[in-house]
A = this chain, B = another copy of it.
Amino acid sequence: MSMRLVGVGVGPGDPELVTVKGAGALRAAAVVVVPVMEGGGTGRAEATVLHYVDQAKVVRVVFALNERSDAARREAAWDAAGARVAELLREHRSVAFATLGDPNVYSTFTYLAGTVTALLPGVRVESVPGITAMQDLAARAGTVLAEGTEPLTLVPVTAGTAVLKAALRGPGTVVAYKFGRLAGEVAGVLAETGRTQRAVWGSSLGLAEESVRPAAELGAEPLPYLSTLIAPARRAGRGEKL
């Protein structure tokens, strides 16, 4: 029996935003790996997974997704996590990896799949799409992400706001990811590009501590790491009636 690693996108946190296919893949796997933060409790991916499978087949693996850890430590943690998942694949043959959002959009799964494939060249790697935070935020905020011929650009802000600023100067919708620590700077570039007014940000979507607010309220204080911001396209027309 060949080895099979499936990256399952479990969405942003609301268990109901898992797809029927994703729920089936979690149930079909012998083991479901959930990424957890070093020293943390039940992670958000794990909480979602536990709506669909028994705790008994869930294995926590530390990915140290802590924004304060440096690149070298993070890489070492990823390598160790990859080795652990390879071990689980050798033993159980079929492993699902639950990832927040979508496994092909800014996901740890990309790195995991790379490491595991290097260790076990024969492994079959698959993925099941998941709802991303921007889609959930758009639905909850009543904001249209894109219509007509507008471009839509996603920018992670972990490495600074330069690319974000360039994107905001264009006409299309811009989505900023992972900007919690740089919330003050993001507020600055929104103001500078005239994009503050209709922008919204959200965090902990679908959870008890959910927050969905106008970007005008963004201050200098850091926000949760997994914050998402949507600056809607400069548009006029029927979509605006929403």
| Chain A residues at the B interface, C-beta cutoff of 8 Å | 9, 11, 14-21, 23-24, 102-107, 110-111, 113-115, 117-118, 125-132, 135-136, 138-139, 142-156, 158-159, 163, 167, 238-242
Contact = CB atoms under 8 A, between A and B. Distances in A.
Contact of A115 (B17, B21, B115, B238): B238
B139 A135 contact: no
Nearest to A51: B20
Interface of A: prevailing SS: mixed
Given A131-B129, A238-B114, A242-B114, A146 B105 contact: yes
Given A104-B138, A150-B156, A238-B115, A144 B16 contact: no
Query: Among the interface residues A17, A125, A131, A138, which one has the most CB atoms of the partner chain B within 10 A?
Result: A131
Contacts of A126: 139
A156 B149 contact: yes
A129 B17 contact: yes
Contact of A144 (B104, B132, B135): B104
Number of this chain's copies in the complex: 2
Nearest to A175: B152
B153 A151 contact: yes
A118 B19 contact: no
Given A19-B19, A106-B146, A117-B242, 16 more contacts: A15-B20, A17-B19, A17-B20, A18-B19, A104-B138, A105-B145, A106-B147, A110-B242, A115-B238, A125-B242, A128-B139, A129-B136, A129-B138, A149-B158, A149-B163, A151-B154
B111 A238 contact: yes
Nearest to A126: B139
Contact of A139 (B104, B144, B148, B151): B104
B129 A151 contact: no
A110 B143 CA distance: 10
A155 B24 CA distance: 32
A16 B20 CA distance: 5
A135 B103 CA distance: 9
